[in-house]
Amino acid sequence: MTDVLRYGLIGAGMMGLEHVRNLRLFDDVEVVAASDPHETSRKYALLTKPELEVYEDHRELLGRDDLDAVIIASPNHTHVDVLADVFAGDLHVLVEKPLCTTVDDCRKVEAAAKGRKGLVWVGMEYRYMAPVARLIQEVEDGAVGALQMLAIREHRYPFLPKVGDWNRFSRNTGGTLVEKCCHFFDLMNLITRARPLRVYASGAMDVNHQDERYDGEKPDILDNAYVIVDYDNGRRALLDLCMFAEASRNEQEICAVGDRGKVECFVPESNVVLGTRIPRDVKTEHVAVDEHILKAGFHHGATYFQHRAFADAIRGGAAPAVGVPDGLLAVAVGQAGEISAREKRPVQLSELGVG
């Protein structure tokens, strides 16, 4: 391994280029190559970093002998096959969320990843948003006592257009509760420190995409949902998702309540509010993030901090902070939620073979 880690990027869309912009802030990591089957995306990659070597086929990129790691930011439904190609060698890999679009494909990845020398890290960067990380730490430190309830609200803008409109259809994304919300289910699993048992979801496509047609086909992705997750230690978590709520002060709000108090965080406001019951006291603290990091992407600095942790794990020979089992479990909750919303019933994780 050289002093500077050399990365390749597979998938040069919006998220892929966010990775490039963030890694340009590092002096010990360099993105040297990128691949994408779409010419326009390759052109944008070169505009972002002109010195990149670009390829149409990711297998050409994987044929290089000077890479230490690859980032997979291609469409969700391609992950399982791209990972199979990456696993033919020992490169470290950071694969964007969701790990795959189904539990079955996640299982294939899990089996193929066993015994690899290279690190396999799943891109659940919301863990690394500074105010969210602070909330997680407060819960772990016992600031709220014994955690009982966790609520996550994301009120945001609709899904953006993507190349080929692949994100308009659940067969490509896994459905909104997999594509978008695996981040939040990962946070729920992490903060509760428990295993999800069952999922109750109610959701629909009520506002967005109603007049869109692609080869005559109407999109089938949820644009709003309530999702409740029950855990094996009696804790429960709630997701409130609305994707036609641009008129919001914050895009994400998280609230963890225990028997002694509660802690909340707000993004992009970047405030953390900690309250205790006895004596009753409420304090607000701003969690600052460097402006250069904020400007490098759309995730409140999370992509930068995740890459710092990923690179440090490579150098230190550490296990991934967010591994394949974490990615699989987040997809499982999302897939169960999609089934629940469609069939209007609670869904046990055991139905998906997840115990």
Tokens of 122: 């799943």
- When pLDDT is averaged across residues 24-43 and rounded to a whole number, the result is 97
Residue 158 gets which letter from DSSP? P
| Mean of pLDDT values over 20-34 | 97
Backbone φ/ψ region at 174: left (φ over 0), alpha (ψ -120 to 50), beta: left
Backbone torsion region of residue 145, taken as left when φ is above 0, otherwise alpha when ψ lies between -120 and 50, otherwise beta? left
Categorize the per-residue pLDDT at 2 as very low, low, confident or very high, splitting at 50, 70 and 90. Answer: low
Mean pLDDT of the chain: 97
Helix (H, G, I), strand (E, B) or coil at 106: helix
| Interval 120-133 mean pLDDT | 98
Instruction: Write out pLDDT tens, residues 137-169.
Output: 999 999 999 999 999 999 999 999 999 999 999
Confidence of residue 278 (pLDDT cuts 50, 70, 90): very high
> Which three-class secondary structure state does DSSP give residue 245?
coil
Residue 100, pLDDT > 70, answer yes
Q: Do the strands 236-242 and 252-258 form a parallel or antiparallel pair, or are they unpaired? A: unpaired
Out of 3.30.1490.20, 3.30.70.100, 3.10.310.30, 3.40.50.720, the CATH code matching 5-125 is 3.40.50.720
| pLDDT at residue 355, as a whole number | 79
Residue 68 exposure: Cα atoms within 13 Å on the Cβ side: 18
CATH of 127-289+323-352, one of 3.60.15.10, 3.40.1280.10, 3.30.360.10, 1.20.120.610: 3.30.360.10
Please state, in angstroms and rounded to a whole number, the distance separating the CA atoms of residues 112 and 26.
Answer: 31
Stretch 190-213: mean pLDDT:
98
Domain residue spans of the chain: 5-125, 127-289+323-352
Q: Averaged over 179-191, what is the pLDDT?
A: 98
Burial class (CB in 10 A: 0-12, 13-18, 19+), 249: exposed
Query: What is the pLDDT confidence band of residue 37, given thresholds at 50, 70 and 90?
Result: very high
User: What six digits make up the tokens of 59?
Assistant: 């297998």
Tell me which residue has tokens 């869904």. Answer: 347
